[in-house]
């Protein structure tokens, strides 16, 4: 990707200023983990079983741990290393939980963690085609993120999206680590959520999804319990497909939503999936235009913040 600056209608190429050390990438990411990936930093240089993890993070949206590794070397095997880290995590759950509680002074319990949502993210200025193909399975919990720095201090950051709908289970050794991990860690698909609904609620969801994705820069975030819609790695709203209705939440704090028709209720003091303090339940009779006016409030808030 080539970046340009515009001066008096003239374009000037902005040259890349490559990272000299992996540590430079790590320092940048750990200082901006919430902005870049929507994650909470747990521990830098976490050592367990004589293995060093660059960054241990936690995803509050999925209640799962995320291991982040930084690479300047393009010759690593991301699939082998990724599954090695996932295996390390699943075999040492207690140690990861203790590290979280001690590092963040929390009291998270084992059952509070959704271990099926564990994943590994590799961050590098470049990945080879072989590396991209190696993790291009829909159920592989390994992500690739490309980051580049430019001479005007600009940073480009991009997740390499999976394009294949194939499962790694089709080629995994039934007795090997990959098959074992693939059975425990689940990468949820849109079809998993659609299967929970009826024809009517599936059709309603497609309509709502289409309207939400018309907002610039949004992408879907599929978790165990809901379909989220993210802007800059922050979920602005999420939808839970049910048999005869939809449960919908807006990620704004109590008092931030202007809802004159009182479509949403305050759930700030109630247990609920998803983020934010506002929740509603509706069927095909919902006023979608009014609903979208409320979703846009969250969208505009996160666009500015």
pLDDT, position 72: 76
Averaged pLDDT of the chain? 90
Q: Could you give the C-alpha distances from 222 to 4, 31, 84, 135, 226, in angstroms and in order? A: 34, 26, 24, 18, 7
Count CA atoms closer than 13 A to 122's CA, side-chain side. 29
CATH number at residue 119: 3.40.1350.10
Task: Check whether residue 173 and residue 229 sit in a common domain.
Answer: no
Task: Check whether residue 173 and residue 295 sit in a common domain.
Answer: no
Rounded distance between C-alpha atoms, residue 240 and residue 247, angstroms = 5
Full-model pTM: 0.80
Please write the tens of the pLDDT for every residue from 173-194: 555 566 677 778 888 889 999 9
Identify whether the C-beta of residue 65 lies closer than 8 Å to the C-beta of residue 226. no
Residue 44 confidence (pLDDT) above 90: yes
Residues 6+ apart with CB under 8 A from 18: 125, 148, 149
Task: Check whether residue 98 and residue 146 sit in a common domain.
Answer: yes
Task: Check whether residue 145 and residue 25 sit in a common domain.
Answer: yes
Confidence of residue 88 (pLDDT cuts 50, 70, 90): very high
> Region 143-165: what's the mean pLDDT?
90
Lowest mean pLDDT among 94-103, 150-159, 270-279: 270-279
Q: Could you give the C-alpha distances from 283 to 184, 220, 228, 260, in angstroms and in order? A: 34, 21, 19, 20
From 184, 199, 226, the end of a domain falls on 184
Task: Check whether residue 12 and residue 154 sit in a common domain.
Answer: yes
> Region 23-27: what's the mean pLDDT?
94
Closest by CA to 130, choosing from 78, 91, 65, is 78
Print the domain residue range for 134.
Answer: 3-184
Task: Check whether residue 194 and residue 241 sit in a common domain.
Answer: yes
Rounded distance between C-alpha atoms, residue 67 and residue 120, angstroms = 5
Task: Check whether residue 129 and residue 12 sit in a common domain.
Answer: yes
Lowest mean pLDDT among 106-115, 167-176, 189-198, 215-224: 167-176
Please write the tens of the pLDDT for every residue from 211-232: 999 999 999 989 888 999 999 8
Residue 36 confidence (pLDDT) above 60: yes
Task: Check whether residue 171 and residue 30 sit in a common domain.
Answer: yes
**DSSP 8-state assignment for residue 117:** G
Beta strands, E only, 15-134: 40-48, 51-59, 64-70, 119-124
Task: Check whether residue 168 and residue 195 sit in a common domain.
Answer: no
Identify whether the C-beta of residue 91 lies closer than 8 Å to the C-beta of residue 78. no
From 166, 184, 202, the end of a domain falls on 184
**DSSP 8-state assignment for residue 4:** E
Rounded distance between C-alpha atoms, residue 238 and residue 251, angstroms = 8
Structure tokens at 35: 């902005």
First-to-last CA distance in the chain?
27
* Domains in the chain, number: 2
Task: Check whether residue 44 and residue 119 sit in a common domain.
Answer: yes
**Helix, coil or strand: residue 278:** strand
> Region 138-160: what's the mean pLDDT?
91
From 169, 184, 199, the end of a domain falls on 184
Task: Check whether residue 157 and residue 194 sit in a common domain.
Answer: no
Task: Check whether residue 264 and residue 175 sit in a common domain.
Answer: no
Percent of the chain with pLDDT over 90: 67
Residue 26 confidence (pLDDT) above 90: yes
CATH number at residue 291: 3.90.1150.200
Residue 164 confidence (pLDDT) above 90: no
> Region 231-248: what's the mean pLDDT?
93
């Amino acid at each position: 990707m080539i970046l340009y600056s515009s001066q008096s209608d003239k374009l000037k190429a902005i040259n890349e200023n490559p990272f000299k050390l992996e540590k430079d990438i790590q320092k940048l990411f750990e200082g901006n983990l919430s902005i870049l990936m929507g994650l909470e930093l747990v521990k830098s240089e976490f050592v367990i079983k004589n293995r060093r993890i660059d960054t241990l993070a936690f995803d509050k949206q999925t209640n799962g741990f995320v291991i982040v590794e930084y690479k300047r070397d393009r010759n690593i095997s991301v699939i082998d290393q990724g599954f090695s880290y996932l295996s390390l995590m699943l075999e040492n759950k207690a140690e990861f939980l203790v590290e979280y509680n001690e590092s963040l002074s929390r009291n998270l319990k084992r059952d509070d963690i959704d271990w099926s949502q564990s994943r590994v993210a590799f961050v590098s200025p470049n990945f080879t085609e072989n590396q991209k193909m190696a993790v291009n399975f829909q159920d592989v919990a390994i992500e690739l993120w490309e980051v580049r720095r430019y001479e005007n201090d600009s940073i480009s950051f991009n997740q390499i999206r999976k394009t294949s709908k194939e499962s790694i289970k089709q080629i995994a050794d039934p007795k090997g680590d990959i098959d074992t991990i693939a059975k425990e860690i689940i990468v949820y698909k849109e079809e998993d959520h659609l299967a929970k609904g009826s024809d009517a609620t599936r059709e309603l969801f497609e309509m709502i999804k289409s309207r939400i994705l018309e907002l610039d820069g949004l992408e879907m975030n599929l978790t165990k319990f809901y379909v989220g819609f993210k802007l800059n790695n922050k979920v602005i709203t999420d939808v839970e497909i049910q048999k005869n209705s939809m449960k919908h939440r807006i990620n704004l704090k109590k008092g931030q939503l202007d809802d004159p028709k009182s479509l949403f209720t305050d759930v700030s003091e109630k247990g609920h999936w998803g983020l934010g303090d506002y929740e509603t339940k509706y069927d095909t009779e919902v006023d979608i235009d009014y609903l979208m006016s409320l979703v846009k409030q969250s969208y505009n808030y996160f666009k500015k913040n």
